Chain A
Amino acid sequence: MLAIVEQGLILCLLAIGVYIAFRVVHLPDLTVDGSFALGAAIAVRSIVSGATPVLAISLAAAGGAAAGFITSIIHRKLKVNVLLAGILVMTMVYSVNLRIMGGPNLPVPRVFGQQEVVSYERMSGGTMLDDLFADQGLIEEETPPPIRERTVVAFFTNRLDGSDLAKISIVVISAVIILGAFLKTDLGTSLRAFGCNPSGVTAFGMSQTFLAIIGLLTANLMVGLSGGLFALYSGFADVSLGQGMVVTGLASVILGEIIFGKVKFLYGLLAPVAGGVLYQALLSTAMRYGYRIGFLASDMKLLTALFVISVIGVRQLASSPRKQRFKAEVKKLWLNSRGSQ
């Protein structure tokens, strides 16, 4: 249960990113699939290179922001549709991730506790067979190079003792508070204004391009942060980690809106947070018990997409004029019946 909440909270940062892109600035950004994996790749590569976890996660967020920046520039400056711009950047980022990781995946170096000091040279710099050959004189014993100690501090212990949850919670709560405060500022208000009336902001002296850049940059910063945390939590980064993440984020946002749709506290940021955790809980339940009715773990992306389609479909039907007329008729009949009593 704790693991579900932990993973849900990590993914709610992704959902917040999707929420900013799809709901705040109203730009359907598909970069998310790429920037999530980019965040993961940067975080693990940074740890492998000796960076501290905080720096690694910060770089992951910056990497996601850079991807969002490039998408917005392609969209606004080259006048490419935002969907296509997102797909282009997502495709580019795939190759970039392979370069960053040096292969299709990269594990987080294994460490044995939060404060333990690990030397990579010691861990991988020789085998017992080498020692045996050296003793027999079959190979010349070389003076070992001076050992450079690198301190690797594990950010997550995966011990399910609450320490990981505390760390993730701090990151998520900080992110939500900072974002909420940002959306209240002049720039944040302008972003929200851009989302509901893009041409209107021009009338008030603001550049649509600038606001689109800030919007997509912020959204993908959150996604990159989520990707970085996810990789450190899972212990690896994979080039296909981001596949379908935009749908996962959307499903979380929609779930959150079903529960907190009317709550506008912190500009609706509570919805993706709650949605992210709830989505993860539903996913885990489906994976645990779904096999009884024939579902496989590999079906989850299909189920998630079907969920998003069904919610959008139901909303569309509910807002159709025919349905509205039907609801009005029912209301009228109900009011008449009450009046006659």
Chain B
Amino acid sequence: MVELQGITVIYNKGMSNEQKALSEVFLFVHDGEFVTIIGPNGAGKSTLLKVILGEVNPLRGKYLIDGRMMNGKPPHYLARFIGRVYQDPNTGIFPSLSIKENLLIASRKGIRSVGFSRLKKRGLDLLKGLGLGLEKRLDVLAGELSGGQKQSLAMIMAVFSGPSLLLLDEHTAALDPRSAKNVMDLTKRINAEQGITVIMITHNMEFAGMYGTRLVEFHEGSLIKSDNRKTHSTKDSKGLRISLSSN
């Protein structure tokens, strides 16, 4: 469904600080997959997400969603197909708006006249599914919620309009362990129940092992491993270690 064919990104091309961020990346993500991307800082993971979101135009290569060429499309156009959640809980929500207004914005994907009453049931169902009691606090400002609640709301908002793809950029990094686990469970549920394809960047190897159905590894701008096998994690005395096993 999402196809990246030979994507190359070079920042500051022709200048003294020229930097190759992605080099000939080929990646095919099928419908309903849960792809986890790992790699050290500067490996090109976030640049890959920026290409998918239309925030960075690749120097070479093709980018397609459902067979349609997406090179050069503006971010707000691509947003119709893609939901996203970032590390900072405040970036995925609108803190000065109420929860209800946040859902209203999330529901329409662009400026269209949609009354909240039409979407109320779906919005309430999604909020109830969180188990945080947000469905009873629709008029509370989103900025007044805790970090975990904000990120959960951001997840709901990202999938409210039924996107084809959900991009997650270290979306649990700023949360406490319990909130992070809850948000990851929610991510898994969204993937399983709504069939939304998920691409998740993480530094958390436990989550990468537990939740992803495919593990993709980047290093210095190149995709060095794409394993279609199911992953699971084990813990030894030295810390966490990921092991991969065939389906």
Which stretch in A43-51, A185-193, A289-297 binds the other chain? Answer: A185-193
Which stretch in B33-41, B102-110, B172-180, B219-227 binds the other chain? Answer: B102-110
We find that the number of chain A residues with CB closer than 8 angstroms to chain B is: 20
With known contacts A186-B112, A193-B97, A204–B91 Cβ distance under 8 A: no
Q: CB-CB contacts of B57-100 with A at 8 A, as 1s and 0s?
A: 00000000000000000111101100110000011111111000
Are A202 and B79 in contact, CB atoms less than 8 angstroms apart?
yes
CA distance A200 to B94 in the complex (A): 7
Residue from A189, A192, A203 whose CB has the most chain B CB atoms within 10 Å: A203
Q: What residues of B have a CB within 8 angstroms of the CB of A192 in the complex?
A: 94, 96-97, 101
CA distance A205 to B111 in the complex (A): 8
Q: What residues of B have a CB within 8 angstroms of the CB of A208 in the complex?
A: 76
Residue from the list B90, B95, B109 in contact with A205, Cβ < 8 A? B109
CA distance A55 to B70 in the complex (A): 48
With known contacts A196-B94, A197-B93, A197-B95, A205–B80 Cβ distance under 8 A: yes
Q: What residues of B have a CB within 8 angstroms of the CB of A193 in the complex?
A: 94, 97, 101, 105
Residue from the list B76, B90, B114, B157 in contact with A202, Cβ < 8 A? B76
Are B91 and A199 in contact, CB atoms less than 8 angstroms apart?
yes
Interface presence of B12 (CB below 8 A)? no
Q: What residues of B have a CB within 8 angstroms of the CB of A285 in the complex?
A: none
**Closest Cβ of chain B: how far from A216's Cβ, in Å?**
17
**Closest Cβ of chain A: how far from B166's Cβ, in Å?**
11
Are A206 and B110 in contact, CB atoms less than 8 angstroms apart?
yes
Residue from B92, B93, B94, B161 whose CB has the most chain A CB atoms within 10 Å: B94
CA distance A206 to B106 in the complex (A): 10
**Closest Cβ of chain B: how far from A323's Cβ, in Å?**
21
**Closest Cβ of chain B: how far from A79's Cβ, in Å?**
15
CA distance A274 to B97 in the complex (A): 23
Residue from the list A186, A201, A205, A210 in contact with B104, Cβ < 8 A? A186
Interface presence of A324 (CB below 8 A)? no
Q: Which of A167-211 contact B (CB under 8 A)?
A: 186-187, 189-190, 192-193, 195-197, 199-208, 210
Q: CB-CB contacts of B12-39 with A at 8 A, as 1s and 0s?
A: 0000000000000000000000000000
Q: In chain B, what residue has the closest Cβ to A195?
A: B96
Are B79 and A190 in contact, CB atoms less than 8 angstroms apart?
no
Are B110 and A197 in contact, CB atoms less than 8 angstroms apart?
no
**Closest Cβ of chain B: how far from A268's Cβ, in Å?**
10
Residue from the list A196, A201, A202, A207 in contact with B95, Cβ < 8 A? A196
Are B75 and A186 in contact, CB atoms less than 8 angstroms apart?
no
Q: What residues of B have a CB within 8 angstroms of the CB of A210 in the complex?
A: 111
Q: What residues of B have a CB within 8 angstroms of the CB of A195 in the complex?
A: 96
**Closest Cβ of chain B: how far from A196's Cβ, in Å?**
4
**Closest Cβ of chain B: how far from A193's Cβ, in Å?**
4
Q: What residues of A have a CB within 8 angstroms of the CB of B96 in the complex?
A: 192, 195-196
**Closest Cβ of chain A: how far from B46's Cβ, in Å?**
14
Q: In chain A, what residue has the closest Cβ to B109?
A: A205
Q: In chain B, what residue has the closest Cβ to A185?
A: B113
CA distance A259 to B91 in the complex (A): 31
**Closest Cβ of chain A: how far from B154's Cβ, in Å?**
9
CA distance A201 to B102 in the complex (A): 11
CA distance A201 to B109 in the complex (A): 9
19 more CB-based (< 8 A) A-B contacts, given A189-B97, A189-B101: A190-B105, A190-B111, A192-B96, A193-B101, A195-B96, A196-B96, A197-B94, A197-B95, A200-B91, A200-B92, A200-B94, A201-B76, A204-B79, A204-B106, A204-B108, A205-B77, A205-B80, A205-B110, A207-B76
User: Would you list 23 pairs from A and B whose C-beta atoms are within 8 A, ordered by A residue?
Assistant: A186-B112, A187-B111, A189-B104, A190-B111, A193-B94, A193-B101, A195-B96, A196-B94, A197-B93, A197-B94, A200-B92, A203-B92, A203-B158, A204-B106, A204-B161, A205-B80, A205-B108, A205-B110, A206-B76, A206-B110, A206-B111, A207-B74, A210-B111
User: Residues on B close to A: CB < 8 A?
Assistant: 74-77, 79-80, 83-84, 90-97, 101, 104-106, 108-114, 143, 157-158, 161
* The 10 nearest A-B residue pairs measured at CB: A205-B110, A196-B96, A205-B109, A205-B79, A193-B94, A202-B75, A207-B76, A202-B76, A197-B94, A205-B80
